[in-house]
Amino acid sequence: MTVKHFLRDDDLTPAQQAEVLALAAELKKDPQSRKPLAGPRGVGVIFEKNSTRTRFSFEMGIAQLGGHPVVVDGRTTQLGREETLADTGRVLSRYVDAVVWRTFGQERLDEMASAATIPVINALSDEFHPCQVLADLQTIAERKGALAGLKLTYLGDGANNMAHSLMLGGVTAGIDVTIAAPDGFAPHPDFVDAANARAAETGATVTITSDPSAAAAGADVLVTDTWTSMGQEDDGLDRVGPFRPFQLNAELLARANPDAIVLHCLPAHRGEEITDDVIDGPHSVVWDEAENRLHAQKALLVWLLDQNSVATESFTS
Ligand code: CP
Ligand code: NVA
């Protein structure tokens, strides 16, 4: 039995991603229109790192779909303590219809997904944040219409989860993605290869640079994220000095297209990766972006439950 999971952005083909985004737009207009979890059926939502947006948006989204969210601090479970992640996946598959999990290394998600008979959704790992990028794409589409052919520039830590997910998810949507990062903070080469492979299918491009000014020039979308992701606080690297030229400020914004929009997944560190005048200014769409977590994740759940419904029926019969 093949279960469809969402562990990284390129788990969705370009056509599948477009279906999820169309459904997200539909659900935003009519939030109570789909109840695939009526019963209620359950969804496990597990956090091994802090969260505000992901926690609230999944918990409310699952409730709006008619279901019951079982929200758990992973640090209080047997996860990774004595029980293998695969065994945890087998057990959770007997209780709930999907698992949403925020964790550390991507291999943890892979291990649980290898044994789970229900969809496993990555709610942020060290490597990827694909649910965020679905919301980002929905937000961009609302402002710009067609996604294909846009230029998106990400400024900051090119080796973090947001950079990797924007690269993979962006080119899946046909967006030309530029990652501008200081030397030593470029995206992981395996993920650049994966993005280039996907870009070859969609006609998009991937550019990696350490020149923030050139990267911002002519951009339709500017994105940044924290310079220190959760779990990197004590990694011994200078996560301030090399990043200063990559701050998303008025000067870099002026290099972009006049109607450029600014995204940040939040939480923002004002005065570090982004200035107050930019995040609070007319180009910023960060609050819509945060709201769209709710709609995009509901769409993802509806879509994944639909994809896996044949498997679920055979399992329960
Ligand atoms: N953007 C995001 O994932 O926010 P939280 O960490 O608050 O969930
Ligand atoms: N890159 C950030 C994203 C937070 C939503 C982190 O992993 O901490």
Q: Which residue has a Cα nearest atom 8 of ligand 2? A: 229
**How much distance in Å is there from the Cα of 311 to the middle of ligand 1?**
31
The answer on 213 and 90 residing in a single domain is no
**Residues in contact with ligand 1 (CB, 6 Å cut-off):** 51-54, 124, 132, 265-266
Q: Relative to the CA of 123, which ligand 1 atom is closest? A: 3
Instruction: Return the closest-CA partner of residue 296 out of 14, 20, 8.
Output: 20
Residue-range definition of the domain harbouring residue 306: 14-128+293-314
Q: Relative to the CA of 160, which ligand 2 atom is closest? A: 1
The answer on 285 and 142 residing in a single domain is yes
**How much distance in Å is there from the Cα of 271 to the middle of ligand 1?**
19
In the residue annotation, 225 being an active-site residue is answered as yes
Residue 138 is labelled as binding a ligand: no
The answer on 163 and 301 residing in a single domain is no
Alpha carbons 106 and 190: distance in angstroms, whole number: 13
Buried b (16+ CB within 10 A) or exposed e, 261-298: bbbbbbebeeebbbbeebbeeebbbbeebbbbbbbbbb
Q: Which of these is catalytic: 8, 129, 239, 264? A: 129
In the residue annotation, 307 being an active-site residue is answered as no
Q: Which of these is catalytic: 8, 34, 41, 102? A: 102
Question: Is residue 47 a part of any domain in this protein?
Answer: yes
Could you list the pLDDT tens digit for every one of the 317 residues in the chain? Answer: 689 999 999 999 999 999 999 999 999 999 999 999 999 999 999 999 999 999 999 999 999 999 999 999 998 888 867 799 999 999 999 999 999 999 999 999 999 999 999 999 999 999 999 999 999 999 999 999 999 999 999 999 999 999 999 999 999 999 999 999 999 999 999 999 999 999 999 999 999 999 999 999 999 999 999 999 999 999 999 999 999 999 999 999 999 999 999 999 999 999 999 999 999 999 999 999 999 999 999 999 999 999 988 444 444 44
Residue 225 is labelled as binding a ligand: yes
Q: Which residue has a Cα nearest atom 7 of ligand 2? A: 229
Question: pLDDT at position 317, please?
Answer: 40
The answer on 163 and 75 residing in a single domain is no
Q: Relative to the CA of 265, which ligand 1 atom is closest? A: 1
Q: Which of these is catalytic: 17, 64, 132, 138? A: 132
Question: Is residue 3 a part of any domain in this protein?
Answer: no
**Lookup: tokens for 311:** 């498997």
> Interface pTM (ipTM) of the complex?
0.99
The answer on 284 and 140 residing in a single domain is yes
> What's 97's domain CATH number?
3.40.50.1370
Question: Is residue 243 a part of any domain in this protein?
Answer: yes
The answer on 217 and 119 residing in a single domain is no
**How much distance in Å is there from the Cα of 65 to the middle of ligand 1?**
21
3-state secondary structure 109-130: HHHHHHHCCCCEEECCCCCCCH
Question: Is residue 97 a part of any domain in this protein?
Answer: yes
Question: pLDDT at position 165, please?
Answer: 99
Scanning the chain, the segments in alpha helix (DSSP H) are 14-29, 53-64, 85-92, 106-115, 130-144, 161-172, 189-202, 212-216, 250-253, 276-279, 286-307, 309-316
Q: Which helix (H) or strand (E) holds 44?
A: strand 42-47
In the residue annotation, 277 being an active-site residue is answered as no
Alpha carbons 289 and 293: distance in angstroms, whole number: 7
In the residue annotation, 129 being an active-site residue is answered as yes
Instruction: Return the closest-CA partner of residue 135 out of 272, 295, 244.
Output: 295
The answer on 297 and 234 residing in a single domain is no
> CB–CB of 246/183 below 8 Å?
no
State residue 110 phi and psi, 5-degree precision.
-60, -40
Alpha carbons 209 and 313: distance in angstroms, whole number: 48
Question: pLDDT at position 311, please?
Answer: 45
